[in-house]
Amino acid sequence: MKKINRQIALFVLFLFLLNLFPLPQKTFGAWREPVRAKRGMVASQHELASKIGVEVLKKGGNAVDAAVAVALALAVVYPEAGNLGGGGFMIIRFKDGKTAAIDYREMAPAAATRDIFVDTEGNLIRGEGGSTVGYRASGVPGTPAGLDLAYQKYGSKKILWKDLVEPSRLLAQNGYVLSYRLAELFKSYKGTLEKYEDSKRIFLNGGKMFEEGDTLKQPELAATLGRMQKLGAKEFYTGRTAELIAEDMKRNKGLITLEDLKNYVAKERTPLRGTYRGYEILTMPPPSSGGIVMLQVLNMLEGYDLRKMGYNSAQKHHLVAEAMRRAFADRAEFMADPDFAEVPTAQLIDKNYAKKRAETINLTRATKSADIKAGEVTFSEGTETTHFTVVDAEGNMVSNTYTINDLYGSRVTAKGTGVLLNDEMDDFAARPGKPNLFGLIQGERNAVQPKKRPLSSMTPTIVLRKDGSVWFALGARGGPRIISAVLQSVINMIDYDMNIQEAIDAPRIHQQWFPDEVLYEPMGMSPDTLKILESLGQKFGDRPINIASATGIAIEEGTGVKFGAIDSRSDGEAIGY
């Protein structure tokens, strides 16, 4: 009895002291603190790429200059997603308030047709000749053109193009030491990479396989970068590199021709703008669907007190899943390349439209995806990626996501170039109404069509404070789960007062309409929470999985100190100076 009384007394004393000295009110504790720097910062998924970007900043280059150098470096040291043979999107916000959105998404070759990836019986063609593996899976790459557009229009002009290319050329020529992760990843993709001569020789060591600590040299890629260094990015589309790609395509019944390469153009679009609880959000418009879907979900959530619900509560997860379910249904119906289809962007991100969609959410019962249809919109108006974020000493910010789609893209390395080609043709609706590689159902608007850009989930985003200054920027890799990662990181920053590392590391969920299930993460949800959500009618995937991986940078109010964050789900490094 005395022992029990002593325990009670100690507990009462603990509560008394806790009242006097309360613990910090952190909703979620990150495994690590964000990287801190006073001037500039680069956060990318490889340490060498981040270092190259920081060196550009130190030499007087601006955030755009550094972004170009980082993108080129990732093409060498992060071959599963960094690329010359893919495409992406870049959002820029300058200190003076000027903004830009660069669309360098891949484009369907002129020979592409609506039914090119289905057989005579209407079944999807699998493997070689299909939309995910082999020469026919590749769209016309946009990365060199996009980086050139960004540099020519928004670079500082203090750093020459050749000097931005040189560090990557040297990395490809001299090689770099392979991590355990990358060496093992090569082995994981052996079955498809070995089917293509140059891919097998470069990434599988001719079949002998690489081990951790080995040096990977890429002389053909170094030569390609060398030609671009001397002749500019246009060399990729009109020079020897273009000839090599076109010749290899012709030999292997691919779709891309020399004319397709010559005709590729990166485009500047108007950034998509929205608000959430008074904070302005800059993100990418179509052909990226990520910005619209994210803003739609945020608009639906704005009518609820998420802070009061609690960060990891069943009620909050249920609400977010239901909002996602509706936004992804609209994605399937309305979104595509705006140059080929009328996309009602303004209406889809209108707060009144979101209010109507939110009115169909039942907080006590999940809606079956089969019962969710696209919203009523009047047309009265015109899986694997990598993301990096850069901020310079002036406060100019770049948020860039680019991709070759699946890991190692089509698995094809164009002979003689060292360039891994994308499998972005799978991001079209090869069979409208049927799921793609990521299980996404896509509509007729996103059907294959010559010179069209496939719909994307990339969501490079910049969030401003209420005074108009930049607060943070981020993006993610991971197919359609990119949208969920960026969305929930934004919520974590605004609704739950997390820092950038906490916001990115925190467990998250994903719901994309079809398949009708919620994905959740290992150790991201208690068994009790899962049971509550199941009682509400939510269905879950067979096992927990990581939901994308994000990268971001935040700027501290008042001091201007930069905080960089790399998702604990992946590798990489945030480096500042």
Please identify every residue annotated as catalytic.
385
- Beta-carbon contacts of 318 under 8 Å, excluding residues fewer than 6 positions away, are 363, 366, 533, 536, 538
Looking at residue 365, the DSSP 8-state letter turns out to be B
DSSP secondary structure letter of residue 425: G
**Cα dihedral across residues 67, 72, 77, 80: positive or negative:** positive
Residue 160 is encoded by which pair of tokens? Answer: 């020459």
Structure tokens at 356: 């109507």
> Could you please report the per-residue DSSP string of 140-184?
BP-HHHHHHHHHHHHS-SSS-HHHHHHHHHHHHHH-EEPPHHHHH
With beta carbons less than 8 A apart as the criterion, state whether 54 and 391 touch. no
Comparing CA positions, the residue from 47, 30, 264 lying closest to residue 142 is 264
Angstrom distance (rounded) from CA 237 to CA 143:
11
Per-residue tokens: 132: 């995910």
How is residue 488 written in tokens?
């929930």
User: Measured between alpha carbons, how far is 407 from 478 in angstroms, rounded to an integer?
Assistant: 10
User: What are the C-alpha distances in Å from 194 to residues 138, 190, 214, 437?
Assistant: 18, 6, 19, 21
Contact between residue 35 and residue 564 where contact means Cβ atoms under 8 Å apart = yes
Please state whether beta strands 35-37 and 279-283 pair in parallel, antiparallel, or not at all (unpaired): unpaired
The pair of structure tokens assigned to 293 is 């879907």
Cβ atoms of 577 and 393 closer than 8 Å? no
* Rounded Cα gap, residues 182 and 346, in angstroms: 42
To the nearest 10 degrees (0 to 180), the angle between helices 481-495 and 314-334 is: 130
Return the ∠ at Cα 127 (arms to 124 and 131), rounded to 5°: 60
CB atoms within 10 A of CB 219: 13
Beta strands in 257-341 (DSSP E): 267-269, 272-276, 279-283
